[in-house]
Amino acid sequence: MGRLTTHVLDAAHGCPGSALKVELYRVEGAQLTLLNSVLTNHDGRCDAPVLQGADYQTGVYQLQFHAGDYYRARGVELPEPAFLDVVVLRFGINAEQEHYHVPLLISPYSYSTYRGS
């Protein structure tokens, strides 16, 4: 069965992005439907796939990573408004593919992602 996983690495501190809120939405036109909301664990990963089973369908999805809240909780002083507050990644899934892994590398002023394995 297919699944979607993610993890977060904090480039500014050289560590996993732990206790960072991640939300997954299904995108249908202009409508967003919340499918899952999780906090990353001590290793910057989610304890289970953010999408799997019957919900794993071909379509457009959006991951939202609450980077601003994460950095504020770490005591990082961010400008108001923060340059990066919620990092939004919109991507497509072809359910014929068994596994999509979408990691995020963040700092208060930059991010990068890719389709991992």
pLDDT digits (tens, 9 = 90+) for 94-106: 988 889 999 999 9
Burial of 48 (0-12, 13-18, 19+ CB in 10 A): exposed
pLDDT score of 56: 95
Range of the structural domain that residue 91 is part of: 3-113
Contact criterion met (CB below 8 Å) for 56 and 19 = no
Number of domains the chain contains: 1
Check which CATH number belongs to the domain holding 47 and give it: 2.60.40.180
Spatial distance between the Cα atoms of 28 and 41, rounded to a whole number of angstroms: 30
What is the C-alpha separation between 76 and 66, in angstroms, rounded? 14
pLDDT for the residue numbered 96? 87
